[in-house]
Amino acid sequence: MKKIVFVLLLVIGQVSYGQITSQPIADFTFSNAENVLLLDVRTPQEYKDGHIDGAINIDWFSNDFNEKVKNIDKNKIIYVYCKKGGRSLKSQERLASLGFTKVINLEGGFDDWQNDQR
């Protein structure tokens, strides 16, 4: 019975939020495709200190995060990352609640990506 309830909750979550998934950032390859957006949710200083080429920066901690993401096309596939994964996971949930349906959290964040580039 517990398994059935869990599966039902999982299905309901997928229907409600669309395609909300995660993948290790080490497996990520960015293509500047028209329907893809790479979102860095770290602070402007963190972004300035280094970021993945092609990423746009919208600070998770900013008071106007919701306003800034409203300008993003909701039909795009959005890959979101932060330093280690906490803010990107929260951002992913927020984006889903705002109607974005294709949001992929890049697990491990910029730190893992940077270590993988060495």
- The Cα–Cα gap between 38 and 45 comes to 18
Q: What is the pLDDT of residues 16-39, one digit of tens each?
A: 446 679 999 999 888 767 899 999
pLDDT of 87 higher than 50: yes
What mean pLDDT, rounded, does the chain reach?
A: 86
What pLDDT does residue 16 have?
A: 42
- The Cα–Cα gap between 118 and 113 comes to 9
The helix/strand count (H/E) of the chain reads as 5, 5
What pLDDT does residue 11 have?
A: 39
- The Cα–Cα gap between 81 and 5 comes to 31
| Residue 82 appears among annotated catalytic residues | yes
**Active-site pick, 82, 103, 104, 106:** 82
What pLDDT does residue 14 have?
A: 42
CATH code, 18-117? 3.40.250.10
What whole-number percentage of the chain has pLDDT above 90? Answer: 72
Q: Which positions ≥6 away from 74 have C-beta within 8 Å?
A: 99, 100, 101
Q: What is the mean predicted confidence (pLDDT) over 54-78?
A: 95
